[in-house]
Structure 1
Amino acid sequence: MIRILIFAVLVLALGFGFSWLADRPGELSILWQGKLVEMSLMVAASLVVALVAAVMIVWWLVRTIWTSPHSVTRYFRARKRDRGYQALSTGLIAAGAGNAVLAAKMAARSRGLISADQEPLIHLLEAQTALIEGKHDAARKKFELMADDPETRELGLRGLYLEARRLGANEAARQYAEQAAEKAPYLPWAAQATLEYRCQAGHWDDAIRLLEQQRVAHVLDKKAAERTKAVLLTARAGDLLEADPKAARNDALAALKLAPGLVPAALIAARSYFREDNTRKASAVLEQVWKMAPDAEIGRAYVRARSGDSVLDRLKRADRLEALKPNNVESLLVVARAALDARQFGRARAKAEAAARMDAREGVFLLLADIEEAETGDQGRIRHWLAQALRAPRDPAWVADGFVSDKWLPVSPVTGRLDAFEWKAPFGQLDGPVEDGSLSNGEQALRSLPPLSAVESEPEPFPEEEKVIEAEVVPARTETLIAEPLREQPPVKLVKTEKAETVATREKPAPDPFFGRPPDDPGVKNRDSETDSKTRLRLF
């Protein structure tokens, strides 16, 4: 487009020049070697233009003839290169599609048409073809050659890293990743892999330094970099908590500035303050995180902040948490547990039932079972809550890659991924059946709670108005342990109570002074005791 505009401008300028000369006629006289040549100014200008055009045409012809051998050679070379690149493109597509036969054919053709020194992609095609064919040793050799070439070093290192991971050679994979990260810190895979390896080894300082290099190289965005740094600071704080609580607290507080809702960082900072008996600052840190992300661990740490507090003081602290985050399941559970410890069963039951209506999960029903056992001891109701707990979803826990941990970890023990743990319900849990579609599981469990039954702690004596029916029972003839005739037995009384229960008993003997009844082992029998022989029922 620009060339067309330039050509049009030149034509317009030439036409304007000729028109200007035509409007101003004149004569041109040239005296050359004794001859006088006279012509008009327009003819002279035309001759000059024609002469310039002729010179240019002659120059183009001479130049074309002179450079024709090189042009012919370059034409055939370009044609060969184009065929090679076409074969290389076809081979890469075939390798990506998994066609090993076509990929190998195109690799051989492209190598014959293009020099491998000029086009490094030929090495990549051959390596990919070897991987498809299962020739991992040949592919590894190709990647090593690519790693030695500065132009393809990054590609070769990545191929070697993936091969080492496939073989399970974690140490070799770590070395390849660190080498790539050192040469090119802007590579995301190398930086991430090196970061994970350093975290698995517990080298938190090196990991933080590498993260700063990634941030400067703009490998990670600002939000992701801040989150990752907060996790690394929390992990380092966890390792320093026992040896240097102050340094651990500084790292934890720095992590909370980067990620305000990071629960493990808040717990570490609070524990560091607890070691210094600074309950006020510890409570402030826990309250700040509780407002953003209520968590059961934070609730326990906050309620039991002072070891010398009474159960009522702990209940007051639980009420404080509920006031900070009302209408929340964790707040209700914290208050319910504190009320149970304080033996305020009515309040504990009300909070636990409200939590069950909001989130019917295992821990809520187990808490209701504990309340029922402590308050009434009704086994039927206790079994009801335990049955609901078996069918209910599990409580949230720290889960990463299907692994459930009782505490937060910076790195997944399954895949080694950084910041993999999430506070959520474990996988594979099925909700209990809901009979009424309009009711939640918690509401259904509360409605199906059996009524409170009378609990008898000790057997009660028969009431005075019970009716006694006497009947004689002939005892069966048995062999006795001692050789003496069977004596006449007294009649047996059948006692019928108001509960329609029939009990076979004799006249109640006088209570023995030893705890109101004779001992289980009466000792050696006294043959002279006539009363004992008459009232004793022989079973053998």
Structure 2
Amino acid sequence: MLFLFLFIVVLAALAIGLGWLIEQPGSLTLDVGGWQFEASIPVAVAGLLATIAAIIVLWAIATALVRLPGRWSGGSRLRRRDKGFEAVSQGLIAVGSGDVARARKAAVVAERLLPSEPLTQVLKAQAAQLAGDRRLAEETFHKMTLKHDTKLLGLRGLHIEAKRREDAEAAQHFAQEAHDIAPLPWAGAAMLEHHAAQGDWAKAREAIEAGLVAKAIDAQEAQNLRAVVETALAMEKERDHPQDALHLARQALKRRPGFWPAAVTTARVLIRHGDRKRALKLIETLWTTKPHPDLAAVYLEALSSEPNSAKLARVEKLAKTAPDAPESRHFVAEIALSTRDFAKARAALAPLVAEGRHPTAHTCLLMAEIEDAEHGPSGPVREWLARASRAPRDPVWIADGVVAKTWLPISPVTGKLDAFEWRAPPDSAHYYLTEEGKPNIPAAFLTRPAAEPIALPATEA
């Protein structure tokens, strides 16, 4: 509203001024080089204004002509840039959809139009990876490392390529270089996996702490990983340094309550120390909520000096704390079978093989053993064996499609820490027998003969 008022006031002032100028008598005379020009004041003012307007128009035309080449080239650059980004966009879509030919063609166009654009290098590298051209991919990633804004991206690409060709040292080098620049999650995870695969648990601990500080892992995950590292250390030390092993295993169990590997290691060290009572109590406490065959094995080890009848009584008592768990029934059936108490073994498995139930392979094999032990080779034995071949598979320690006989702190395939899970394996899983010479498994975790009883200092009892 104020602007409109001011506009009207100015317009009125101009109109009044123009009327006053027209009413003024007199004329203006211009004498130049023998030429004389005479005009009234209004005409002279109008001529002056027209001259100024003409000068402004001519100046604008001249300026536009001078700038025309620049604008033309600038428009051309913008068009090239737009075409380049369109090629990058189409190329990345082609990479995502797996169209190798289209991705490589787009990469060539993008490199011609936008040679210094970081996204062009990303597209070129990804197109090369998609086409299986590892040499070109690595060359492109290496070029990225020479520029500050793409160095981390290039290092990650080189790290991935090194892992693909199974060059652990090179992969670790690139991860370390990236980790020194910024505490990125992938670099921290790679460093952790490398130290774990080498069995360097001290550096693995440092990598966990660095990841926690950088917020690459949360507090709960850090606690779980610490428990895995401490359990791994305890397994290494349980023969030669049992006191340290016991402390580490207990600490891992506090960090991760119910963690079977830590509990088994703790109980095993206690048993070898001669503290059988405390080992049994630990297992019995865990069994109520987390029954597991590994706990059953070490529980049986603690009862090795007792007669079979006493073993069966203790196992039955243990099973009653988790009566519905298949592990409880399997444990009772196995001990009853070893004492040739076939009725009790059958009774333990009866709920698992009742009509309408789908017993697992282990249950079927136990039933076959009971039939064979009681009646010898017979039709029921063959029937249970046949059912076992078709039955659902029981949970096992599995990581990356590999099944291990016992828990391991790292995957034998990728070296990832805390990769093993206790679950039913898929049909594609294959058994991995831990033995000398297998890659990515520290020697301390390979299958070995049972150790002789070891003595702990009395203060640890």
Amino acid at match of 2:398: V
Q: In structure 2, what is the Cα distance between the partners aligned to 1:384 and 1:225?
A: 49
Amino acid at match of 2:418: D
Q: Provide the residue aligned with 2:404 in structure 1.
A: 405
Contact 2:192 2:204 in 1 (8 A): yes
Greater RCO (Cα-Cα under 8 Å, separation 6 or more): 2
Q: Provide the residue aligned with 2:112 in structure 1.
A: 108
Q: Provide the residue aligned with 1:155 in structure 2.
A: 153
Q: Provide the residue aligned with 1:277 in structure 2.
A: 274
Contact 1:365 1:388 in 2 (8 A): yes
Alignment of 1:323 with 2:330, yes or no, is no
Among candidates 131, 135, 142, match of residue 140 of structure 2:
142
The CA deviation at 1:309 is: 1.0
Query: Any residues of structure 2 matched to 1:379-418 within 5 Å, and which?
Result: 379-418=378-417
Amino acid at match of 2:182: A
**CA-to-partner distance for each residue in 1:443-475, whole Å, 9 max, x for gaps?**
xxxxxxxxxxxxxxxxxxxxxxxxxxxxxxxxx
**CA-to-partner distance for each residue in 1:190-242, whole Å, 9 max, x for gaps?**
22222222211111111121111111111122333322222222222222222
The CA deviation at 1:423 is: 2.0
Uncovered stretches (5+) of structure 1, i.e. residues with no partner: 1-7, 19-60, 430-540
CA 1:85–1:241: 2 relative to 1, 3 Å: farther
Alignment of 1:87 with 2:87, yes or no, is no
The CA deviation at 1:129 is: 5.3
Q: How many residues align?
A: 365
Amino acid at match of 2:113: R
Output the TM-score relative to the length of structure 2.
Answer: 0.70
CA 1:11–1:396: 2 relative to 1, 3 Å: same
Q: In structure 2, what is the Cα distance between the partners aligned to 1:152 and 1:424?
A: 41
Among candidates 208, 219, 222, match of residue 216 of structure 2:
219
Root-mean-square deviation (CA, aligned residues, Å) is 3.3
Contact 2:196 2:417 in 1 (8 A): yes
Contact 1:300 1:334 in 2 (8 A): no
CA 1:391–1:101: 2 relative to 1, 3 Å: closer
Amino acid at match of 1:174: Q
SS across alignment from 1:304: helix
Alignment of 1:235 with 2:239, yes or no, is no
Amino acid at match of 2:112: A
SS across alignment from 2:288: helix
Q: Provide the residue aligned with 2:177 in structure 1.
A: 179
Q: In structure 2, what is the Cα distance between the partners aligned to 1:274 and 1:351?
A: 28
Amino acid at match of 2:360: R
The CA deviation at 1:405 is: 1.6
SS across alignment from 1:302: helix
Amino acid at match of 1:304: E
Q: In structure 1, what is the Cα distance between the partners aligned to 2:222 and 2:417?
A: 12
SS across alignment from 1:261: coil
Q: Provide the residue aligned with 2:186 in structure 1.
A: 189
SS across alignment from 1:360: coil
The CA deviation at 1:244 is: 1.5
Contact 1:299 1:321 in 2 (8 A): no
Contact 1:362 1:390 in 2 (8 A): yes
SS across alignment from 2:397: strand
Amino acid at match of 2:406: K
Q: In structure 2, what is the Cα distance between the partners aligned to 1:424 and 1:302?
A: 21
Contact 2:81 2:113 in 1 (8 A): no
Among candidates 307, 310, 318, match of residue 310 of structure 1:
307
Query: Any residues of structure 2 matched to 1:468-479 within 5 Å, and which?
Result: none
Q: In structure 2, what is the Cα distance between the partners aligned to 1:122 and 1:297?
A: 54
Please identify the structure whose Cα radius of gyration is greater.
1
Amino acid at match of 1:90: E
Contact 1:409 1:421 in 2 (8 A): yes
Q: In structure 1, what is the Cα distance between the partners aligned to 2:346 and 2:305?
A: 26
Q: Answer with 323-332 or 228-237: which moved more.
A: 228-237
Alignment of 1:370 with 2:366, yes or no, is no
Contact 2:88 2:120 in 1 (8 A): no
Output the TM-score relative to the length of structure 1.
Answer: 0.60
Q: In structure 1, what is the Cα distance between the partners aligned to 2:170 and 2:128?
A: 21
Contact 2:336 2:345 in 1 (8 A): yes
Q: In structure 1, what is the Cα distance between the partners aligned to 2:342 and 2:363?
A: 15
Amino acid at match of 1:198: H
Amino acid at match of 1:169: D
Q: Provide the residue aligned with 2:31 in structure 1.
A: none
Decide which structure has greater helix share: 2
CA 1:167–1:346: 2 relative to 1, 3 Å: closer
Amino acid at match of 1:346: A
Q: In structure 1, what is the Cα distance between the partners aligned to 2:393 and 2:128?
A: 48
The CA deviation at 1:75 is: 7.0
CA 1:394–1:101: 2 relative to 1, 3 Å: closer
Q: Provide the residue aligned with 1:533 in structure 2.
A: none
Amino acid at match of 1:148: L
Q: Provide the residue aligned with 2:456 in structure 1.
A: none
Q: In structure 1, what is the Cα distance between the partners aligned to 2:297 and 2:304?
A: 12
CA 1:92–1:290: 2 relative to 1, 3 Å: farther
Q: In structure 1, what is the Cα distance between the partners aligned to 2:350 and 2:131?
A: 63
Q: In structure 1, what is the Cα distance between the partners aligned to 2:281 and 2:328?
A: 17
Amino acid at match of 1:321: L
Q: In structure 2, what is the Cα distance between the partners aligned to 1:405 and 1:226?
A: 24
CA 1:214–1:88: 2 relative to 1, 3 Å: farther
CA 1:81–1:427: 2 relative to 1, 3 Å: same
**CA-to-partner distance for each residue in 1:139-186, whole Å, 9 max, x for gaps?**
43332232132322101101212222333333212211222122222x
CA 1:234–1:184: 2 relative to 1, 3 Å: same
Contact 2:253 2:262 in 1 (8 A): yes
Q: Provide the residue aligned with 1:348 in structure 2.
A: 345
Query: Any residues of structure 2 matched to 1:73-84 within 5 Å, and which?
Result: 82-83=78-79
CA 1:246–1:130: 2 relative to 1, 3 Å: same
Uncovered stretches (5+) of structure 2, i.e. residues with no partner: 10-55, 96-101, 429-461
Contact 2:398 2:420 in 1 (8 A): yes
Alignment of 1:246 with 2:243, yes or no, is yes
Amino acid at match of 1:161: H
**CA-to-partner distance for each residue in 1:246-280, whole Å, 9 max, x for gaps?**
22222222222232232111100111111221123
